[in-house]
Every structure is written in structure tokens, then in C-alpha cells.
């Protein structure tokens, strides 16, 4: 099993920055990919950024590319999401997630953390 715990959320003004952290524990040797997802009220959960756990591959949603950066510190078993130039539409509950090589679905999830962006 893999456990994920997010931290770093909160309230920020539009144009500001936040860094989310995700502490990963358990069977980290099974992890293939990690990612950040978000869900705003009344909307479906969407992928924000994903990254290979052991490599350098990253992927971003078009809506955040150039503003958000996903990174991971394997020595600390921590995944980060640096969010810059935040917009009101970025406001959501953000989730950290992990998956194994197979099945290719994210089946390990954190509890979620609120990010509020005031205009």
C-alpha cells in the first residue's frame, strides 16, 4: 500500500503563489507515476500535472502549463506542486495521487487539500 498526505494549501490572492507538498510513504518502490488532480465545486476531477516517479517525464494540463510545476524529491519521498500566477479558476480541492505500472490507473489518493484564490 501507498499513503499520501498533502499539505500547503490555503488562501491566496489572484496572482500569488502556493506550493503544495505530498508526503509519500509505504510501498514507494511500486510507484510508477505521481500526479496532482483537482476538483472544483460542481465540476469533475481533472488532472493538473503528472510526473514519472523515477524519471524526468512531466505532463501538464493546458490550463496550468507555464504556471505550475510538478517536482519530486525521491530522497524525501515528497511530491511538490509549485503554483504561480494563481487565478480564481484554480480554486479547488487538490489531490495527490500515485499509481503503479499496472493497472494504469491512479488508485492511491491523498485526502485532498483546499486551495482558495481570491480575486
74: pLDDT strictly greater than 90: no
Confidence check: pLDDT of 72 > 80: yes
Instruction: Give the max Cα distance, the chain.
Output: 42
- For residue 103, the model assigns a pLDDT of 86
d(CA 117, CA 85): 10
Please write the tens of the pLDDT for every residue from 21-32.
999 999 989 899
Q: Please tell me the distance from the alpha carbon of residue 49 to that of residue 44, in angstroms, as a whole number.
A: 16
- Quote the Cα angle for 8-11-17, to 5°: 65
Is the pLDDT confidence value at 71 over 90?
Answer: yes
Residues of the chain with pLDDT > 90, as a percent, come to 89
Distances (CA, A) of 5 to 21, 30, 94, 96, 102: 8, 17, 11, 8, 22
Q: Using pLDDT thresholds of 50, 70 and 90, give the confidence band for residue 11.
A: very high
pLDDT at 55 over 80: no
What mean pLDDT comes out for the span 7-16? Answer: 97
For 89, phi and psi rounded to 5 degrees?
Answer: -75, -5
Q: What is the pLDDT of residue 6?
A: 97
Contact 77, 25 (CB under 8 A): yes
Mean pLDDT of the residues in the chain: 96
Amino acid at each position: 500500500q501507498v499513503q499520501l498526505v498533502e499539505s500547503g494549501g490555503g488562501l491566496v490572492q489572484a496572482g500569488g503563489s502556493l506550493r503544495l507538498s505530498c508526503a509519500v510513504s509505504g510501498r514507494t518502490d511500486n510507484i510508477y507515476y505521481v500526479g496532482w488532480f483537482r476538483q472544483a465545486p460542481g465540476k469533475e476531477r481533472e488532472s493538473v500535472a503528472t510526473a514519472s516517479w523515477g524519471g524526468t517525464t512531466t505532463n501538464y494540463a493546458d490550463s496550468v502549463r507555464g504556471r505550475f510545476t510538478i517536482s519530486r524529491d525521491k530522497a524525501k519521498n515528497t511530491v511538490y506542486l509549485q503554483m504561480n500566477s494563481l487565478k480564481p479558476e484554480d480554486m479547488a480541492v487538490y489531490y495527490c495521487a500515485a499509481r503503479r505500472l499496472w493497472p494504469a490507473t491512479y488508485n492511491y489518493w491523498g485526502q485532498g487539500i483546499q486551495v482558495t484564490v481570491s480575486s
